[in-house]
């Protein structure tokens, strides 16, 4: 009779793990993995380096720390060993590799760290602080003096800055290397007047609550890479950085209260704002001569105040096409090639609208649905010939129409009924009449009509308005015809 003999099998797996340095004695590192189809297993250490570092339970295969002093990253960044697993007459070896992390003891500096010289940076860094409870001020910007700081490498142990980071007036500083381990910042990032700074990328790990971000007057800074972890911020000021070519580093921002991008002569796009959704306060884009478009604002649903001025290459504002809450105040000034503001077609009510010195803007398409506005100023737009797109406007606080060289008529204002304070019609040299005011019932204060060199017809001003509806002064001077208030009441309204 034949008998079936089952052959014993033994399967083992090499063991590797990364753990913090300086663990306590008997700390359980893990369990060596081995299996058999029959019988029992026993475990033993046959080699280890450094000797005496490890212990191993012969029955369970649990691997522990034997000598904690040997688990020091600076002495032994790697600990290795070999374990033998035995079942009767067969055995297998398990290779053990342990990688130790360098654990820096948390060390807190309480208060504000003012580091005004390289010597002070070096001395502070020698303490290996991991946390500053308050502000870290690098340089003498608060005293408006330059420093000799050229390296922040001694600060590489820092992980947490409790309040503000200020880096200013450090002409020798080229980068922020040394701050690459900072994972938390709060309140303000202020980087100003560091004339040779070419990178802030070392801030790439930093997260936190940012009230204000100022990147101002850094002559050689080409980009904002390193700020990708910003999300919700209050104020962003990017001012007077002559080498700044992109702001892609702001791509993590989804919400802000105030954004100002001003006087960055090489900045031709604002693509860093492609994830921005809401601006609770204002956006100001001023004097960025190469800025071609604002398409990166296409995700923005809300802006309260908008100023677009002195952007010599900006053709339109179509990037704001998805606004759901339109601005309460709108300033469009000194944009020499701007051709359209049609993106504001949904605007019905506003506090201030000023359209000034946009020589290629031929019409006010975009204000077609405007019904009420606080102050409306149409100033020095030489290509505008009429105000026809304002034909739904009924009420305005102050109306200023000045210095529009080719404006021929005001008939677009024919539905205007009330001016709470004053009207000023000045220096419109092609304006011949005031037709458009025929439905105006009241002017709360003053009417000023001055220096309109072709203006000869005032008949659009109804006598009843001038006799009963004008609450303040009547000033008509230096026009082609200058009737008195009584002339107009009496019907002497043109020549």
pLDDT at residue number 104: 62
* Angstrom distance (rounded) from CA 215 to CA 225: 12
pLDDT at residue number 1: 42
pLDDT at residue number 239: 98
Are the CB atoms for 344 and 322 separated by under 8 Å?
Answer: no
Token code pair at residue 332? 């469009």
* Angstrom distance (rounded) from CA 254 to CA 230: 9
- List where CATH 3.80.10.10 sits in the chain: 326-495
Q: How many residues does the chain have?
A: 495
| Three-class SS state of 106 | coil
Handedness of CA 249, 254, 257, 262 (dihedral sign): positive
Q: Which residues of 408-441 are buried (b: 16+ CB within 10 A; e: fewer)?
A: ebbbbbbebebbbbbbbbbbbeebebbbbbeebe
* Angstrom distance (rounded) from CA 196 to CA 202: 16
| Three-class SS state of 126 | coil
- List where CATH 2.60.40.60 sits in the chain: 13-101
| Phi-psi label, residue 397: left if phi above 0, alpha if psi -120 to 50, beta otherwise | alpha
Question: If you classify domain 13-101 with CATH, what class do you get?
Answer: mainly beta
* Angstrom distance (rounded) from CA 292 to CA 83: 67
Handedness of CA 241, 258, 313, 403 (dihedral sign): negative
**Strand stretches in 61-173, DSSP E:** 62-65, 78-87, 90-101, 108-109, 113-115, 131-132, 136-139, 160-161, 165-168
Torsion of CA 51, 52, 54, 58, to 10 degrees: 110
* Angstrom distance (rounded) from CA 398 to CA 478: 22
Superfamily of domain 326-495: Ribonuclease Inhibitor (3.80.10.10)
**315: DSSP letter:** -
- One digit per residue, the tens of pLDDT, for the chain of length 495 reads 445 678 899 999 999 999 988 899 999 999 999 999 999 999 999 999 999 999 999 999 999 999 999 998 888 999 999 999 999 999 999 999 999 987 667 899 999 999 999 999 999 999 999 999 999 999 999 999 999 999 999 999 999 999 999 999 999 999 999 999 999 998 899 999 999 999 999 999 998 877 899 999 999 999 999 999 999 999 999 999 999 999 999 999 999 999 999 999 999 999 999 999 999 999 999 999 999 999 999 999 999 999 999 999 999 999 999 999 889 999 999 999 999 999 999 999 999 999 999 999 999 999 999 999 999 999 999 999 999 999 999 999 999 999 999 999 999 999 999 999 999 999 999 999 999 999 999 999 999 999 999 999 999 999 999 999 999 999 999 999 999 999 999 999 999
Q: Which residues of 210-241 are buried (b: 16+ CB within 10 A; e: fewer)?
A: bebbbbbbbbebebbbbbbbbeebbbbbbbbb
pLDDT at residue number 101: 87
Global pTM exceeds 0.85: no
CA separation, residue 255 to residues 5, 73, 154, 281, 318 (Å)? 73, 42, 34, 10, 20
* Angstrom distance (rounded) from CA 197 to CA 244: 11
* Angstrom distance (rounded) from CA 464 to CA 166: 64
């Amino acid at each position: 009779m034949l008998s079936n003999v089952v052959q014993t099998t033994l399967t083992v797996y090499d063991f590797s793990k990364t753990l913090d340095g300086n663990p306590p004695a008997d700390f359980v590192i893990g369990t060596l993995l081995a299996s058999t189809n029959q019988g029992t297993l026993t475990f033993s250490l046959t080699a280890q380096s450094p000797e005496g570092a490890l212990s191993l339970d012969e029955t369970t295969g649990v691997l522990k720390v034997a000598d904690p002093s040997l688990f020091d990253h600076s002495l032994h960044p790697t600990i290795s060993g070999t374990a033998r697993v035995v079942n009767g007459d067969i055995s297998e070896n398990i290779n053990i590799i342990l990688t130790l992390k360098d654990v820096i003891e948390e060390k807190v500096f309480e208060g504000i760290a003012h580091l005004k010289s390289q010597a002070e940076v070096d001395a502070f860094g020698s303490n290996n602080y991991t946390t500053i409870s308050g502000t870290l001020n690098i340089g003498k910007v608060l005293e408006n003096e330059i420093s000799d700081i050229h390296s922040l490498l001694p600060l590489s142990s820092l992980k947490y800055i409790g309040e503000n980071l200020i880096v200013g007036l450090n002409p020798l500083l080229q980068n922020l290397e040394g701050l690459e381990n900072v994972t938390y910042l709060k309140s303000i990032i202020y980087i100003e007047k560091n004339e040779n700074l070419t990178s802030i990328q070392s801030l790439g790990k930093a997260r936190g609550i940012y009230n204000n971000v100022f990147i101002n007057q850094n002559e050689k800074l080409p980009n904002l890479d390193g700020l990708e972890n910003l999300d919700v911020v209050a104020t962003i000021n990017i001012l007077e950085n002559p080498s700044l070519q992109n702001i892609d580093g702001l791509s993590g921002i989804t919400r802000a209260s105030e954004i100002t991008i001003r006087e960055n002569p090489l900045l031709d796009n604002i693509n860093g704002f492609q994830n921005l959704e809401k601006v609770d306060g204002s956006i100001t884009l001023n004097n960025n001569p190469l800025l071609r478009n604002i398409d990166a604002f296409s995700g923005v649903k809300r802006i309260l105040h908008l100023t677009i001025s002195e952007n010599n290459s900006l053709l339109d504002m179509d990037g704001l096409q998805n606004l759901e809450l339109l601005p309460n105040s709108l300033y469009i000034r000194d944009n020499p090639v701007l051709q359209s503001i049609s993106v504001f077609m949904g605007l019905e009510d506003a506090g201030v609208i000023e359209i000034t010195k946009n020589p290629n803007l031929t019409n006010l398409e975009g204000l077609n649905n405007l019904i009420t506005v606080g102050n409306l100023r149409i100033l020095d737009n030489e290509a505008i010939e009429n105000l026809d797109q304002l034909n739904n406007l009924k009420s305005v606080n102050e109306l200023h129409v000045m210095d529009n060289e080719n404006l021929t008529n005001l008939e677009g204002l024919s539905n205007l009924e009330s001016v709470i304070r004053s009207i000023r019609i000045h220096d419109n040299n092609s304006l011949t009449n005031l037709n458009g005011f025929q439905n105006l019932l009241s002017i709360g204060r003053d009417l000023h009509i001055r220096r309109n060199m072709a203006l000869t017809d005032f008949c659009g001003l109804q006598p009843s308005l001038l006799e009963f509806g004008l609450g303040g002064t009547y000033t008509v001077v230096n026009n082609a015809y200058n009737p008195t208030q009584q002339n107009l009441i009496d019907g002497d309204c043109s020549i």
